[in-house]
Each structure stands twice: as structure tokens, then as C-alpha cells.
Amino acid sequence: MKLKNIDILSERIKEAVLNNEQIILFGDSDMDGVSATVVAKEAISNFAFLSKKELKISAYFPDRKNEGYGLNDVVSAYIIEKYPQGGLLITLDCGITNFTQIKRVRAAGFYVMVLDHHQPVKEGLPEADIIVDPKQEDDDYPFKDFSNAGLSFKLAEELLQEKISPLFKENLLELVALATIADMMPERDENIDYIYQGLKNIENSQRPILKAFFTIYNPNEFNSKRDLVHRINSCFNFGAMDDNHVCLLYHILSETDFELAKEEAKELIEENQRRVLEINVLTDEIKLLIETKLGNSIIFEGSPNWGIEYLGAIASRLSVYYDKPVFIYQKYDDFSRGTVRLPKKYDAVKAMESCSNLLITFGGHPPAAGFTVANNNLERFRLALISYFNKENGK
């Protein structure tokens, strides 16, 4: 049993490598998206190496802070301009809802393949050439809840078959394990196996940046290896970009020099300490603000001063603390961009689908999602959510 279309995705990539076509990876810029991109890139590189072929491959990511999630208008225009000849574009950890942009890049001569683990929306699927998404309706693969890095690993196995060496496999699975944990995917079925295999020997990782973290951190200061892994993930959760639409995290996970990796790990640890402080301050500020509104069925707040990059972590905390759906957003001039976390019994995607006419974009997973909304629809959005959750609560 295979994921639907994973074999034709792999065949098309092989063909591209053998014909020396330009391959462009487009990943989301969080830990899962970047790991998915690194795993795919290393698997394709390994296939090219074994086939004695030169590889033309590059990777890009959205600047979530300034452009929004996924294959947005800014990056798709950038890619079209940079590759007038077209090429093979693979979206990872995004794409399944990028209808207009996929249409546009295909019209510009790109062959577009989507490798995404997000839930397709009820409007259907984008007009891509090949779509791999375990959550598409007619995919019969029994397990659905892979991280996107897990999907890239499936691609690696398909590309390399028996040529995938045990060491290389373990190296990829370390990233898959971190990404599965970072993306909060359920620890069931194949995810259990990926996490077990990926963490088994991660302290001796062949990947310089991972080895560096395990050299700098003293494992005795953590309750468990899992706690240390959470800390490393939080250090990776910084979202910065270079000037060419590439995530710094992509460079860091691909770093081959151990001494440089050690310097980078030290900087990431310092940066993480700063971020934790900022998150604590903002969380307290938001708690104070909602003290008077605790009768409401949801938490719905925003401010121009709340950096979107902190809101995921804050929303997670608030949702656990108050046991309520949390919608918090950064307000820009005309629109607001926000993040959603909710207790297990609810579904963020369904909640927003129920009022999708009010939103510019939305997407994500049942427990964690995001949205963009025009400011003149904020109040209508809030009221629609309240009525949706009142209904869910049987009121």
C-alpha cells in the first residue's frame, strides 16, 4: 500500500534529474516545512549522485511575517521571474490551498507538484500536475497524520528504494522526528516508528547542527531526551529569511561544517532566550486584557504590536490555560493575520470553514491553524466564531 501518487511523483522527479531539468522546492518556513524541504533535497541529491547526474536544484520559502503563508503572490512572482524557462516546482508543507498561484506558475511554464499534509478545503484541489496529500479524498492509505517531513521521507524511500543506506535513512529520520514533534502530529502508527528511529541515536547525529546542540547542551540538565528535543525545536522556531527567499533555518540544517554549526547553535540558543522573554511578556499582557471577558466561549484578541512570529506559542499556552479556542492576531493597516489554537475536542479548520466568506485566507490543522482577515470583517468574524462554538458547546 502506497500513498496516492507518491510513485508518479517520484518517477517525474527521476525523469527531471536524468534530463537535467531545473528543480525548485518551495517549502513552508516553519520547522516541518524546512525539514520536509531538506529531506526532499537530500534524497533527490542522493538519487542524482547514484545516477551520476549533475543536479539543478534550489529551494525557496515564504516570508511568513511579511508575505503570509504558502506559495503566496510575492514568491510565485519571484520564482516566475527568476526561472523564465520554467522548471519542476514542488511545494512542501503548503500548496494544497494555493489555487490561483498554482494556476499562475503553471501558465508560466512550470510543472507543479504538491506534496502537502494539510487538509484540502471543501472547494477542492488546486490544478497541479501531481498531488500527494494523504488527506485528499481518494487516498486510501490507512494512516493520514504524517508530518510533511514524514511525507518527504516517503518520497525518499520511493526514489531510492533499496539503495537507501541505513545511515542516510537514520539521518533523514532525525529531521522527520523533530518535525513530527514540532508540528504536533499525533504519535500513532508510523509516526511512533519515525520518532523512535529518529531520536534513538540523535545525540551522535551526522548532521552538524544537531550534533552541535547535543555538544552544547548538557543532557543532565533536562528531564529527558524528549525535553531536550523540545528545546532544540524551540531554538529552530525563529522564521528569519535571507534576501533571496531562503529560510536561514534551511541553511542551518544543511550546514556541513561542525565548527560553524556550533557557532550557529550558540546564536540560536541566545536568540531563543530573547524570544522566550518576549513571549512571557506578551502572554501576561494578553491574559490581563482578557481577564474581564472570561464569560466568552472563545478568546479573540489582536493588536498592531503583537508580532505574528510569537503568536503561535502564545496561543498554545492560552488555549491550554483557559481550555478555550484561541484566536489572536497581529493587526496591520487593512487586514489582520492571526493564529488559532484550540482544545482537542474542537476543529479549527471546520470552525473557519463555517465562516470562510469573511476570510481572505485560512488553513492548517484541526488543533492549530492560521487566518488572514480584512479589518472591516474582524467583528463579523468574531461573532460568527462565537455562534459556531456556542453551537459546538450545545448552547
**Residue 299 or 348 having the CB closest to Mn ion:** 348
Cβ within 8 Å of residue 214, ≥6 positions away: 202, 203, 204, 205, 228
DSSP per-residue codes, 211-225: HHHHHHS-GGGSSSH
Per the DSSP assignment, residues forming a β-bridge with 328 are 301, 339
98-137 binders of Mn ion (CB under 5 A): none
Stretch 1-40: interaction string toward Mn ion, x if CB under 5 A = -------------------------------x--------
DSSP per-residue codes, 154-206: HHHHHHHGGG--HHHHHHHHHHHHHHHHHTT----HHHHHHHHHHHHTGGG-S
Long-range Cβ contacts of 215-222 (<8 Å, 24+ apart): 215/262, 216/262, 216/265, 216/266, 216/269
Classify residue 129 as exposed, middle or buried by CB count within 10 Å of its CB (0-12, 13-18, 19+): middle
- Distance between CA atoms of residues 154 and 152, nearest Å: 5
Closest CA to 344 of 325, 318, 317: 325
Stretch binding Mn ion (CB under 5 A), from 183-191, 303-311, 336-344, 375-383: 183-191
Q: Considering the complex, what minimum distance in angstroms separates the CB of residue 220 from Mn ion? A: 32
Please tell me whether residue 148 binds Mn ion under the rule CB under 5 A: yes
**Residue 43 or 149 having the CB closest to Mn ion:** 149
Q: Considering the complex, what minimum distance in angstroms separates the CB of residue 203 from Mn ion? A: 25
- Distance between CA atoms of residues 368 and 270, nearest Å: 27
Stretch binding Mn ion (CB under 5 A), from 91-99, 106-114, 121-129, 237-245: 91-99
Binding residue for Mn ion, selected from 183, 255, 301, 309, defined by CB under 5 A: 183
CA torsion angle for 278, 284, 287, 288 (degrees, to 10)? -130
Q: Considering the complex, what minimum distance in angstroms separates the CB of residue 141 from Mn ion? A: 17
Q: What residue is closest to Mn ion based on CB?
A: 32
Q: Considering the complex, what minimum distance in angstroms separates the CB of residue 256 from Mn ion? A: 25
Q: Considering the complex, what minimum distance in angstroms separates the CB of residue 33 from Mn ion? A: 6
Please tell me whether residue 93 binds Mn ion under the rule CB under 5 A: yes
- Distance between CA atoms of residues 154 and 39, nearest Å: 10
Q: Considering the complex, what minimum distance in angstroms separates the CB of residue 262 from Mn ion? A: 28
Residue 178 · residue 207 · CB < 8 Å:
no
363-392 binders of Mn ion (CB under 5 A): none
Stretch binding Mn ion (CB under 5 A), from 58-66, 85-93, 161-169, 193-201: 85-93
Stretch binding Mn ion (CB under 5 A), from 43-51, 62-70, 182-190, 251-259: 182-190
Please tell me whether residue 339 binds Mn ion under the rule CB under 5 A: no
**Greatest CA separation for the chain:** 66
Q: Considering the complex, what minimum distance in angstroms separates the CB of residue 26 from Mn ion? A: 14
- Distance between CA atoms of residues 158 and 142, nearest Å: 18
**Residue 32 or 264 having the CB closest to Mn ion:** 32
**Residue 148 or 382 having the CB closest to Mn ion:** 148
Residue 56 · residue 13 · CB < 8 Å:
no
- Distance between CA atoms of residues 344 and 365, nearest Å: 11
Q: Considering the complex, what minimum distance in angstroms separates the CB of residue 71 from Mn ion? A: 14
- Distance between CA atoms of residues 318 and 325, nearest Å: 9
Cβ within 8 Å of residue 390, ≥6 positions away: 297
Classify residue 163 as exposed, middle or buried by CB count within 10 Å of its CB (0-12, 13-18, 19+): exposed
Q: Considering the complex, what minimum distance in angstroms separates the CB of residue 118 from Mn ion? A: 7
**Residue 301 or 361 having the CB closest to Mn ion:** 361
Binding residue count for Mn ion, defined by CB under 5 A = 4
**Residue 55 or 340 having the CB closest to Mn ion:** 340
**Residue 70 or 208 having the CB closest to Mn ion:** 70
Cell 508575505 maps to which residue? 67
**Residue 37 or 76 having the CB closest to Mn ion:** 37
**Residue 118 or 245 having the CB closest to Mn ion:** 118
**Residue 47 or 69 having the CB closest to Mn ion:** 69
Q: Considering the complex, what minimum distance in angstroms separates the CB of residue 307 from Mn ion? A: 21
Stretch binding Mn ion (CB under 5 A), from 142-150, 231-239, 267-275, 283-291: 142-150
Positions in the binding site for Mn ion (CB under 5 A): 32, 93, 148, 183
